[in-house]
């Protein structure tokens, strides 16, 4: 992997980190979706702490009807317990930081391996990253909608955010990755 590709990936990581700091850290985008407050939080917390001891994702369904079906119109709740507490936040942030740089670095390397038709056009290079964002958005954010997942509006917002993330990374990586000069021998 050339220094040009590594430099482009690092720049993409910096853009992703600054964008995330702005959108999540300052504007609170992700917290507004993933950290909503529960009424009677202390009661709910103590109940969950008592009944959920193993890490995992849990579904909390309504009681079944006498016919053995779930009643229509009754909510289904999802509980996610990762098995860690707030003391783990620092270590988990380090893992997130690695991902912030590793993902754009892999994307930059993938772009550097693309055909000359892709690498020769700035807009195609950016679209390469938009496509990566679209794939991630479809297979992670949109796919996490429904029973036990996000409401449709939140899933769409998260998907749009993911596409914007990768578009911004693409703008800077596309600027740095250029076609290699041809070494054809002229006789």
Amino acid 16: pLDDT: 93
| CB-based contact 126:105 (threshold 8 Å) | no
Q: Which tokens in the block code for residue 21?
A: 């700091």
Amino acid 184: pLDDT: 46
Helix (H) or strand (E) holding 104, with range, is helix 89-112
The number of CA neighbours under 13 Å toward the Cβ of 150 is 20
Amino acid 92: pLDDT: 78
Amino acid 186: pLDDT: 53
Amino acid 179: pLDDT: 75
CA atoms of 122 and 101, how far apart (whole Å): 22
For the chain, the distance separating the N- and C-terminal CA atoms, rounded to the nearest angstrom, is: 31
CA atoms of 141 and 143, how far apart (whole Å): 5
CA atoms of 136 and 153, how far apart (whole Å): 17
Amino acid 175: pLDDT: 94
Number of separate helices (H) and strands (E) present in the chain: 7, 2
Helix (H, G, I), strand (E, B) or coil at 70: coil
10-residue mean pLDDT series, the chain (187 residues): 90 94 91 88 92 91 91 89 82 84 94 91 95 95 86 93 96 89 53
CA atoms of 30 and 36, how far apart (whole Å): 10
Q: Which tokens in the block code for residue 39?
A: 């009424």
């Amino acid at each position: 992997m050339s220094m040009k590709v590594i430099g482009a990936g690092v720049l993409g990581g910096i853009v992703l980190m600054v964008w995330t700091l702005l959108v999540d850290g300052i504007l609170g985008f992700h917290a507004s979706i993933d950290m909503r407050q529960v009424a009677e939080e202390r009661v709910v917390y103590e109940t969950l702490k008592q009944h959920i001891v193993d890490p995992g994702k849990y579904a909390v369904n309504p009681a079944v009807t006498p016919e053995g079906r779930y009643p229509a119109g009754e909510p289904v709740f999802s509980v996610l317990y990762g098995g860690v507490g707030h003391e783990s936040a620092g270590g988990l942030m380090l893992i997130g930081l690695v991902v912030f740089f590793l993902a754009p670095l892999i994307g930059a390397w993938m772009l550097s391996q693309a055909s000359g038709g892709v690498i020769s056009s700035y807009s195609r290079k950016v679209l390469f990253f938009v496509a990566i964002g679209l794939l991630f958005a479809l297979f992670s954010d949109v796919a996490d909608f429904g029973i036990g997942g996000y409401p449709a509006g939140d899933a769409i917002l998260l998907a749009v955010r993911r596409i914007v993330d990768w578009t911004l990374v693409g703008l800077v990586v596309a600027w740095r990755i250029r076609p290699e000069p041809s070494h054809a021998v002229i006789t």
